[in-house]
Structure 1
Amino acid sequence: MVHHNERTDLDRLRQIIEGRRSVRHYRADSVPEDLIARVLDMALWAPSGWGRQGCSFVVVQGSVRKSLQELFCDALGEVRPILENIYPREKGYVDKLMDFFSTYGSAPVLVLAYAGRLPNGEDDVLTAAVALQNFFLAAHAAGLGSTWTDVMRVREEEINSIVDVRNQKLVCIAPLGYPDEQPKPAPRGKGRVSWIGF
Structure 2
Amino acid sequence: MPSTAKWVAVWRRLRPNNNYTADSGAVSERGGGKGEGFTINVPLPPGSGSGAYEYAFKKVVVPALEQFKPDFVLVSSGFDASYADPLAAMILSSNVFRFMARELVEAAKRLCGGRIVFAHEGGYSETYVPFCGAAVLEELLGVHGVDKQIKDPFLSEVERWGYQELQEHQKKAVDRVVVSTNVRT
Q: TM-score, normalised by structure 2?
A: 0.26
Determine which structure has more spread, i.e. the larger CA radius of gyration. 1
Q: Which has the higher contact order (CA 8 A, sep 6+)?
A: 1
Q: TM-score, normalised by structure 1?
A: 0.25
More helix by share: 1
